Chain A
Amino acid sequence: MFEFRVPVREWVSGAVEAMRDGLGPLFDAFADGVEAVIGALLSLLQWAPVPVVILVLAGLAAALAGWRVGLFALAGLFLVENVGLWQPFVQTLALVLAAQVLILVVGVPLGVLAARSDAVEGVLKPVLDFMQTMPAFVYLIPAVMFFGIGVVPGVVATFVFAIPPLVRLVSLGIRQVPADLVEAAEAYGSTSWQRLVKVEVPVARPSIMAGVNQSIMLNLSMVVIAGMIGARGLGAEVLRGIQRLNVGQGFEAGLAVVILAIVLDRVTASVGRRRTRSA
């Protein structure tokens, strides 16, 4: 129709290359940091004999979400071990946890800022929409360009994909704290911080935990994709099954992801419902 073509492609490629060249050391430092965290988590999970780790994890699930979930975790984890997927399972768990820490550390404060300021919310909203709807494969490419093949671009892609619902639900939850509770906090001379941690966050907790839960589920769904760019773990196992057209092998790895997902879902959901006591 027109000779002229809007050079979106060139702009993005140019920007990504400029960032890679200009911010290289920064990305390298970030990659080193993420790798160190994942390495530490991995060695923690591999420090004790496998049955002990399974018992500790199942016990943790039982303590947080009740004995049914604990029992399910126990059976599920033994099954994973039994079919020879323990090593990739632990790698995936480390990746998920590291990505989730990053998501929480960035997502919760962003959500609070968005709740406090309409301007911040106005800027964040389209950015979050963009992050959530842009197909994940598309930002795998720049992630690999910045961080190379391996686990770090997987964490970054997971972060981008999974953080939007957390930010949204934190913001929504805090905005929905009844106005008179906020007024009460103010009237009793609370500082902004006291108001946040003693009133807003506890009252908004169901909504915040729903955000945490959502982000963990999205986080897990990125695991398989992360396997495509060299992150070892269950995702890589699923891919291997697909490549060999071995349905059974792919299913086993997929089942391990599902087991992890169910346990994490039940645990976070139950933490969201629970009442806390404070002194």
Chain B
Amino acid sequence: MRNESRPDVPASLPDERPPKIAVRGLYKVFGPDPSRAIRALREGATKPEVQARFGNAVGVADVNLEVAAGETFVLMGLSGSGKSTLLRLLNRLHEPTSGSVLVDGIDITGLSRRELLEMRREKFSGMVFQQFAILPHRSVLDNVAYGLEVQGVPAAQRRERAQQAIELVGLAGWEGSYPHQLSGGMQQRVGLARALAVDADILLMDEAFSALDPLIRREMQDELSELQARMRKTIVFVTHDLDEALRLGDRVAIMKDARVVQVGTPEELITAPADDYVAAFVEGVDKSGVLTAGSIMQPVREVARLRDGPQTALNKMRRSGLSGVLVVDDERRVIGYLTSERIVAALRDGGAKEGDRIATALMEPAAVVDVDAPLSDVIVIASEGSGPVAVVDGGRLRGVVVKGAILAALARPSRDPAEARDEGQVVATGTGAGRSAAEARHV
């Protein structure tokens, strides 16, 4: 899913298609006579300065963003940073003071009330709120059907679609219940199902999981990720929780005092924070879920080929000062792992002769992870054996991760993990635990 987090793909946009949502020069200033406040903001005045000079509260200042179709885009910031205001400008729950918001290329700031209603119904799957905002007088089914009901979808059809959405969020059997009978987590599932039932492209989520207790929150995040993997909606997700932002976001925009400070993939924010504010923000974060195998891997110094004989493989190891090498086939698919110890033993016992091809018996299974696998998965795999972890992309060997690199990445995550590379090319002998391919998905 997180194509744009791969090192070889530019981080800005996943593809060449026009953005789903484009925000250009957007300002939201509350209070009378906002034009002078905007003028001051354009000249670089900060939100507190404008507040002090003109008395206007600044919601959003000079925001330019593009959200790609199918992307999960997180707006992240502390309270008062303008993230929820920005979200509400995207469907014009707030009227922009200046600037434009383009949804599928249409500037929504110029729409009439009627056109705006149409646009909200066609393009947006409604919105998911922090306090759920489901109707206390309606059953689960009728709550979920709300968006369809206002669109005039016939009763039978909307019941069917609402039912599907309810099953999707795991609330089957609760259709006839009322909100006061449900726990917070279940109420938010109703809120999510209500949005999914509409089945439009864009899903807006405002601190959707912030009111839930940590275990339920984590569960909902995982479920949202699973649903998103299937549905590929364009999600704009507001949160003040950095861990949540990094876990869910393909890209994250960090806001401070009504402005966007940095937009980037989770890895970019951690490895290359734009300023001290972002750096301070990401300092305490659990990096193991954000950094990927690809971001901490090192180039492969030496591999053995399948057609190499035992002596050739041994020579390669000795030349490069390694105690073991990965064995690949002609297409650089990882076949196994070979240690010098076993070759030496086999040659001595006569189990292998000079000139033989590498016998599969001599190889051990190699530990392999996908290039997108999060560091937390790499740690698990690496700890199961003592050999290096092969990093593959589309099945082909791209690099290796050694334990030293993992530790370095965890210890100094805001630096370039490449610094760790030359410190840890230690390949110990021993049994590389077998794990064919880590189906580790990050989001």
Chain A interface residues toward B at CB < 8 A = 178, 180-181, 183-191, 194, 198-199, 202-203, 205, 275-279
Bound Cα distance A202, B178 (Å): 14
- Assembly CA distance A181 to B198 (angstroms): 17
> Lowest 6 CB-CB distances: which A-B pairs, in order?
A189-B121, A187-B127, A189-B120, A180-B133, A184-B133, A188-B147
A-binding segment of B27-35, B136-144, B353-361, B365-373? B136-144
Q: Which of B149-157, B331-339, B343-351 contacts A (4 or more CB under 8 A)?
A: B149-157
B residues 186-207 touching A (CB-CB < 8 Å): 194, 198, 204
Question: Known contacts being A184-B127, A188-B146, A198-B146, is A205 close to B137, with CB within 8 Å?
Answer: yes
B204–A187 contact, CB under 8 A?
yes
11 extra A-B contacts, CB within 8 A, seeds A178-B131, A187-B120: A183-B129, A183-B133, A184-B127, A189-B151, A190-B117, A198-B135, A202-B137, A275-B178, A276-B137, A277-B142, A278-B142
What's the Cα separation between A136 and B130 when bound, in Å? 49
A184 to B137, CA, bound (A): 15
Q: B150, A187: Cβ atoms under 8 Å?
A: no
Query: Do A279 and B142 form a contact, CB below 8 Å, given A187-B127, A203-B136?
Result: yes
Nearest CB in chain B: distance from A124 CB, A: 25
Chain A residue nearest to B131 (CB atoms) is A180
Q: Is B295 an interface residue (CB 8 A)?
A: no
B124: Cβ under 8 A from any A Cβ: yes
| A184, A191, A203, A205, most chain B CB atoms within 10 A | A184
Whether B135 lies near A203 (C-beta < 8 A) is yes
Interface residues of B in 87-127 (CB under 8 A from A): 88, 91, 93, 117-118, 120-121, 124, 126-127
When C-beta atoms are compared, the residue in chain B nearest to A192 turns out to be B113
Could you tell me the distance in whole angstroms from the C-beta of B108 to the nearest C-beta in chain A?
13
B138 touches A191 (CB 8 A): no
How many angstroms from the CA of A181 to the CA of B124 in the assembled complex?
A: 17
Closest partner residue, chain A, to B204 (CB atom): A187
28 A–B contacts, CB within 8 A, in A order: A178-B133, A180-B131, A180-B133, A181-B133, A183-B88, A183-B93, A183-B127, A183-B133, A184-B126, A186-B93, A187-B126, A187-B127, A187-B204, A188-B121, A188-B147, A188-B198, A189-B121, A189-B124, A189-B147, A190-B117, A191-B150, A198-B146, A198-B149, A198-B150, A199-B135, A203-B137, A205-B137, A278-B138
**Which residues does chain A contribute within 8 Å of B133, judged by CB atoms?**
178, 180-181, 183-184
CA A198 – CA B132 in complex, angstroms? 17
Number of B residues contacting the other chain (C-beta, 8 Å)?
A: 32
Residues of A within 8 A of B136 (CB): 203
Within the complex, what minimum Cβ distance (angstroms) separates A207 from chain B?
Answer: 13
Q: Give Cα A183–Cα B121 distance, bound, in whole angstroms.
A: 14
Do the beta carbons of B124 and A187 come within 8 Å of each other? yes
Please state if A189 and B150 are interface contacts (CB–CB under 8 Å).
Answer: yes
Q: Contact: A279 with B135, CB < 8 Å? A: no
Chain B residues near A205 (CB, 8 Å)?
137
**Are B135's CB and A191's CB within 8 A?**
no
Contact B126 A275 (CB under 8 A): no
Q: Across the interface, which residues of A come within 8 angstroms of B126, CB to CB? A: 184, 187-189
CB distance from A41 to the nearest CB of B (A): 31
Other-chain contact of A189, B117, B129, B132, B178 (Cβ < 8 Å): B117
Query: Which residues of chain B come closer than 8 Å to A183, judged between CB atoms?
Result: 88, 93, 127, 129, 133
- In angstroms, Cα B138 to Cα A189, docked, is 18
CB of A279 within 8 A of CB of B129, answer: no
By beta carbon, the residue of chain B nearest A191 is: B117
* Bound: A273/B127 CA distance, A: 29
User: Which residues of the partner chain A approach B91 to less than 8 Å between Cβ atoms?
Assistant: 187
Contact B120 A277 (CB under 8 A): no
Interchain CB contact under 8 A, B150 and A194: yes
**Which B53-84 residues have C-beta < 8 A from chain A?**
none
Query: Which residues of A are found within 8 Å of B142, using beta-carbon distances?
Result: 277-279
Highest count of chain B CB atoms <10 Å: which of A181, A205, A276: A181
How close is A188's CB to chain B, nearest CB, in angstroms? 4
Q: Shortest CB–CB separation between residue B201 and chain A, in angstroms?
A: 14
On chain A, the residues within 8 Å of B147 by CB distance are: 188-189
Give Cα distance in the complex from A198 to B135, angstroms.
9
Residues from chain B with a CB closer than 8 A to the CB of A189 are: 117-118, 120-121, 124, 126, 147, 150-151
Whole-angstrom distance between the alpha carbons of A278 and B130 in the complex?
Answer: 25
Q: Which residue of A lies closest to B117 (CB)?
A: A189
